[in-house]
Amino acid sequence: MKYISTRGQAPVLSFEEAMLTGLARDGGLYVPETIPQMSAPDIAALAGLSYEEAAFRVMRPFVGDSFSDDDFAEIISRAYAGFGHAARAPMVQLAPNHFLLELFHGPTLAFKDFAMQLIGQLFQVALKRRGEKVTIVGATSGDTGSAAIEAFRGLDAVDVFILFPHGRVSEVQRRQMTTPAETNVHALALDGHFDDCQARLKDMFNHFEFRDEVALAGVNSINWARVLAQVVYYFTSAVALGAPQRKVSFTVPTGNFGDIFAGYIARRMGLPIETLVVATNQNDILHRALSGQGYVTSGVTPSISPSMDIQVSSNFERALFDAYGRDGAAVGQLMGELKEQGGFRISQGALQGLQETFASGRASEEETSAMIRQIYAETGEILCPHSAVGVKVAREHLGTTPMITLATAHPAKFPDAVEAATGQRPPLPNRMADLYERPERVSRVENDLAALEELIRERRAV
């Protein structure tokens, strides 16, 4: 199994190399050269398996000879052992023909644990074998950082530094980053906004001397291994509702197009998915693009679903690559226009291709709150604001095909928005009820590249 860049100018890599590299050197994103297929009998055979067994069968062909069968099975088993639900990704029913896929039973209560827990174990095994160590640096507005820290804590091949904007993440998010006691974990509160965190991260990756000195690695949502991990729950949930005999549709609250792109891969592998519905909040660049209004950035407006507050949806490049017939030069040109002019038009042919698979919708702030309130009244189920965006848009696309909406975070992660909508303050699950008592460990850092690099040099174990 080989991986190629969406811009066609970077070296072809193995699964392991693509995972350790993250972003391709030509600025593109790695995608599999060919998409492995699962036949109807292969899919039917997933019924009744554990999540881990299904994960092995779905992901195995993408990994090639980077990991042995035994190693890969062991990695999967360790990745999901810390989840608080035996089914890992259980489903509940919201209404006739409408189901909610709960992806928030991982250690940090958001769906990012599915990918991050796996990638932590994959990195550890690959790096041990190579006799290498890396320094992972990430920027977060909340969920990614806590998921990364939780995934890499205590793994001795890795030091993990997470930059978050001081005073601008929720208390649960901050405590999830600052309370792990392992010495390879470093939470850095930067004096600035999330954009400053991302800018300094980018600066570090572009400072090649520093990058090589500390063996910098990234695990943001463009890492192919993260996309792959998310393909699994599309299969397990569809099979639970009768696939491959019965088609299903999915609605996915999306920011970076990572989670829904995993659904697209599942569909390309042969899972009978009718429609993939993109659900955005008021930051609706994807909804506008898929409605034919061009892909045009317009600044971020903070919302009550902050993990979807994005300006540029980085994984969308992978969908464009296929929509343009895998023409790397064409994708490179679009991305150039995006950088220089803040947007681009999608060709008629490419747009038509995208619209055959994807539908879209958006939810305003008021609609999101109203949906949390309404679903609580109708079912007793408490949604997080991101999931509520999904449910609102899904309800506009209900038909005869069963609809599965992805619930991306636990409501206790966003207690203020939920309480404002329902009057109920959702409690943390028992297994992390002592989060507010655990001691915090965090370094406050100024928004300055040299100071940051110095701190990382000093703190990392060599």
Ligand X SMILES: *Cc1c(COP(=O)(O)O)cnc(C)c1O
Size of the site for ligand X (CB under 6 A): 16
- State the minimum distance, in angstroms, from the CB of residue 409 to ligand X: 3
Identity of the amino acid at 376: Y
- In angstroms, the CA 332 to CA 350 distance is 15
Span 398-427, contacts to ligand X by CB under 6 A: 408-409
For the window 246-265, what string marks contact with ligand X as x by the rule CB under 6 A? -------xxxxxxx------
- Structure letter (DSSP) for residue 436: T
Is residue 413 flagged as an active site residue? no
- State the minimum distance, in angstroms, from the CB of residue 253 to ligand X: 5
Closer Cβ to ligand X, 66 or 176, answer by number:
176
For the window 141-180, what string marks contact with ligand X as x by the rule CB under 6 A? --x-------------------------------------
Is there binding between residue 386 and ligand X (CB under 6 A)?
Answer: yes
105: phi then psi, degrees, rounded to nearest 5: -100, 10
Q: Which residues contact 321 (CB under 8 A, 6 or more apart)?
A: 6, 29, 31, 327, 328, 331
Looking at 238, 308, 359, 456, which residue binds ligand X (CB under 6 A)? 308
- State the minimum distance, in angstroms, from the CB of residue 398 to ligand X: 21
Looking at 307, 360, 374, 422, which residue binds ligand X (CB under 6 A)? 307
Closer Cβ to ligand X, 43 or 89, answer by number:
89
- In angstroms, the CA 326 to CA 203 distance is 30
10 Å CB burial of residue 384 (0-12, 13-18, 19+) is buried
- In angstroms, the CA 391 to CA 255 distance is 15
- State the minimum distance, in angstroms, from the CB of residue 33 to ligand X: 23
Is there binding between residue 318 and ligand X (CB under 6 A)?
Answer: no
Span 88-147, contacts to ligand X by CB under 6 A: 110, 112, 143
Please name the helix (run of DSSP H) or strand (run of DSSP E) that holds residue 295, with its range, or none. Answer: strand 295-296
- State the minimum distance, in angstroms, from the CB of residue 221 to ligand X: 5
Closer Cβ to ligand X, 177 or 409, answer by number:
409
| Marked catalytic residue, from 112, 133, 392, 413 | 112
- In angstroms, the CA 209 to CA 222 distance is 23
Identity of the amino acid at 320: L
Span 204-243, contacts to ligand X by CB under 6 A: 221
- In angstroms, the CA 106 to CA 150 distance is 10
10 Å CB burial of residue 268 (0-12, 13-18, 19+) is middle
Known catalytic residues? 112
- Write out the residues near ligand X by the rule CB under 6 A: 110, 112, 143, 221, 253-259, 307-308, 386, 408-409
